[in-house]
Amino acid sequence: MFSRLIALCITAVSLISSPLSPPDLLQYSFTATDSRILPGKTTDNNPNGIGSEQDRIGNLALIAFKYQAGNRQNHNDFPIEVGHVRVAGQDQRFEAFKLGEPLRKTIKNLNTQHTIYYRFPHKSSWVLYRTDNGFVTQVTTIPESEIVPTQYTRVLRIGADKQSGTGTYFFAPATVRVSSYPQITSSVEAARLAKTQLGKLAIYRHAVDGTPPDPRRGIDVITRQFFIVKTVSGPGVIWQDSGSHAIYLTRFSSDLGNASTISLAMDRPGRLLAACADPSGNLYYLLAREQDDPEILELAKTDPQGKLLARFVPDASKNGLNIFHMKAPRVAADLQWSKGQLGMMLMRTMHKSGDGLNHQGGIAVIFNATSLKQIKSLGPTSSHSFDNVLSTNSSGDFIGIDLGDAYPRGIHLHKFTDKNRVSRVVYTVKTAHATRPVNPAGRTFPPYPEISSPDKTFYQWSNDNNTYTELGGLVETPQGYMVVFTGEPSSEGKVLDNSRTGTGNTDKRNIGLVVAIRDFHTIASRGNSVPDELLVTKGPAETGGFYCFNNRWNEQRSTGVIWLTRYTKQDNQSAINVKTAPLPDGSILILWKVHRSGEPATNWAMTVSPEGKQLIAPFRLPEQLELNRRDAIMVDGKRVYIASGNRVEKKLELFVLQLH
């Protein structure tokens, strides 16, 4: 059972205690005692029988499934070393093996799967670990029930055929603690990860009984998973168990040396979409359920100890919030508290309209933070709406952005109160057009010669749900509102070239920003055309447009974009999972991952001025840092908090950047 906290008060007051100085990561090293090239011809019919000795070394056996005689569809000749791993300065030592990729690979379709069997010294539960560059990660657990003494046991999740380079693995009894992170207190393990241009980056990990979300397992999940809140004694993280669907709050002490977890009450289980806190310590969370559920959407409130104070089920009918379903994992919602109210932005699929279709779009709503009753629906934001970010400005108004593909097409900036909502497009995007003349409604349209080529003809209609964009964040600045995102500029910086769409013809994602004026509502809306006077930032103007589903021409104009990165097709890199937050010195922090096909993503950071000028050039962050697609980071005083989780090890992780 999770321990319950006696008191938990959430406040906007900055944390004042200085953080612990955690030790460095523990380094695990491998020493080989024997090596051999195993042919990989022993089948799974009898891995412990006569004839399999050629595929054994020490306590390890290499076994083939669906083996094809004559090497027709097999890989063969696997270099393997056996030995042990140990930590410098410690007595721990574990049996280990290093697996290399096969020396002989089939040129045909691979049909065989080679896996590892291991002979354990005694019957108990064992854990398989992998070490890369001295850093250890847990791979899987082999339960006691699967182990037969003196016999070989299959080790799951080791696919020798798919090995790239070399991988070092070792086994340890499940009762033995193995980690690259030193245990600093009874409830927290921690390590210093790096010294950066901004300050020291460390990680603090707390063991939980549940199964936390894990960004490593869902790079394209846009549903938010971790919600960082401020408490009187330290940062807290609201999260949902991916198995039981229970909702928890994990709270760290101000010195980050201790952590506790409590459960938050629910009247009925649901899927966590968004959460926030108020200055009195109350917690709020938004739940989604299946499309036929009469309580498809619920807003709940608990006190600081997790006791349920109120719940409200909005009207989801066609005349209400018009929610037909909110299917995971591609649903984004955001929830913020301000001046006794809760603002919500939500993506949902609507009930059938007059054309018989279930359309999708975003919506903005304000609720009373005491009773949770709905105060006002501010109507649809964008349609379709594929992402959203919600915040508040210095006046307490709700400000947000969402990403539309048609009405409008681009990034839509909003400011709303319980009186009204004002919105303007601040960035617009290219559009893929049809490659056949007839649309699904049976209407025929002429060619689109401006973007056609001798090899491909486009036609004057489109139905492009792609936006070639990812939202990165929204920050209030002295001049207005900075919107950070990724887009696909060409080498000339153009974003409205409709010929640069389709498989193999798109540009790489780069980080860009615009700064809209504070009173953006005073500039008349021009649809998908962004006027110069709407933006503080200055940049090349570009005009264009697209033909909609029924051939109507839609004018577009882009201007004022400052591009911060320059990834190209040649380097095959794109920016993803962008995070943005203002720092105490007035600069804006931008974090992101660089994705390159077939390689692990890398983590990067930079800072810019409120005007969008680069201050600290991009620098790399440690690979241990995990950035989920849409989770927000939090700045409190001189600390930047980033939340994550490890599903295999059942750890809630808090990355802390202690600023200079």
Residue 131 lies in a domain: yes
Residues 463, 430: Cα–Cα separation, whole Å: 12
pLDDT band at 10 (very low <50, low <70, confident <90, very high): very low
Average pLDDT over residues 652-659: 98
**Would you say residue 70 lies in a domain?**
yes
In a domain, 163, yes or no: yes
Question: Parallel, antiparallel, or unpaired for β 651-659 and 199-207?
Answer: antiparallel
In a domain, 37, yes or no: yes
| Burial per residue of 232-271, b for 16 or more beta-carbon CB atoms within 10 angstroms, e otherwise | ebbbbbbbbbeeeebbbbbbbbbebbbbbbbbbbbeeebb
Residue 503's pLDDT is 74
Coil, strand or helix at 53: helix
Q: What share of the chain is helix, strand, coil (3-state, %, to 5)?
A: 5, 45, 50
pLDDT in tens, 190-208: 999 999 999 999 999 999 9
Give the per-residue pLDDT at 53: 86
**What confidence tens digit (pLDDT) does each residue in 294-342 have?**
999 999 999 999 999 999 999 999 999 999 999 987 899 999 999 999 9
Least reliable range by pLDDT among 162-171, 232-241, 356-365: 162-171
pLDDT of residue 221: 76
From first CA to last CA, the distance across the chain in angstroms is 39
Residue range 115-173, pLDDT digits in tens:
899 999 999 999 999 999 999 999 999 999 999 888 899 886 667 877 778 999 999 99
Q: Indicate the pTM of the whole model.
A: 0.92
Token pair in block for residue 30 = 């491998």
Closest-CA residue to 407 (of 465, 356, 477): 465
- Asked whether the predicted pLDDT for residue 417 surpasses 60, the reply is yes
Average pLDDT over residues 336-357: 97
Does some domain include residue 108? yes
Rounded to the nearest 5°, which phi and psi values hold at 646? -125, 110
Give the SS3 label for residue 88: coil
In a domain, 69, yes or no: yes
In a domain, 109, yes or no: yes
Beta-carbon contacts of residue 84 (< 8 Å; ≥ 6 apart): 30, 31, 33, 93, 94, 95, 96, 170
32 pLDDT band, cuts 50/70/90, is: very high
CA nearest neighbour of 190 among 604, 660, 624, 600: 624
Give the sheet arrangement for strand 113-119, strand by strand. 56-57, 60-65, 113-119, 152-159
Region at 268 (left for phi over 0; alpha for psi -120 to 50; beta for the rest): beta
> Please, which pLDDT band fits residue 14 given cuts at 50, 70 and 90?
very low
If you search the block for the tokens 């669907």, which residue do you land on? 245
Is the pLDDT at 51 greater than 60, yes or no?
A: no
Distance between CA atoms of residues 594 and 572, nearest Å: 10
Question: How many Cβ atoms are within 10 Å of 5's Cβ, its own excluded?
Answer: 17
> Minimum mean pLDDT among 45-59, 197-211, 261-275, 409-423: which range?
45-59
pLDDT tens figures, 425-483: 999 999 999 999 999 999 999 999 999 999 999 999 999 999 999 999 999 999 999 99
DSSP 219: T
Indicate the number of domains in the chain. 1
pLDDT of 114: 86
Q: What percent of the chain has pLDDT over 90?
A: 82
71 pLDDT higher than 90: no
pLDDT of residue 43: 82
- The DSSP code sequence of 142-198 is E-GGG--TTSEEEEEEEEGGG--SEEEEEEEETTS---SS-B-SSS-EEEEEEE-SS
How far is the C-alpha of 175 from the C-alpha of 489, rounded, in Å? 53
Q: Tell me: the pLDDT tens digits for 574-601?
A: 999 999 999 999 999 999 999 998 888 9
- Rounded Cα gap, residues 360 and 371, in angstroms: 29
The structure tokens listed for 286 are 């938004």
pLDDT tier, 45 (very low <50, low <70, confident <90, very high otherwise) = confident
Tokens read off for 171: 């086994």
- Residue that wins the pLDDT comparison between 74 and 18: 74
- The pLDDT of residue 24 is 95
What does the chain come to in residues?
A: 660
Q: What percent of the chain is modeled with pLDDT above 70?
A: 94
Q: Residue range 489-515: average pLDDT? A: 93
Residues 517/611, Cβ–Cβ less than 8 Å? no
- Which positions ≥6 away from 76 have C-beta within 8 Å? 39, 40, 41, 102, 103, 104
Higher pLDDT, 313 or 75: 313
Residue 335, domain member (yes or no): no
Non-local (6+) Cβ contacts of 625 within 8 A are 193, 201, 203, 603, 642, 644, 655
Nearest to 297 by CA among 277, 312, 319: 312
Distances (CA, A) of 174 to 132, 138, 155, 210: 21, 11, 15, 18
Kindly report the average pLDDT of the chain as a whole number: 92
Q: How confident is the model at residue 69, as a pLDDT? A: 61
How many CB atoms neighbour CB 610 within 10 A? Answer: 18
Instruction: With CA atoms as reference, report the closest residue to 19 among 281, 252, 260, 182.
Output: 252
Predicted pLDDT of residue 391: 98
- Structural domain including 44 reads 28-173
CA distance 609 to 607: 7
Here the tokens at position 256 are 């980050």
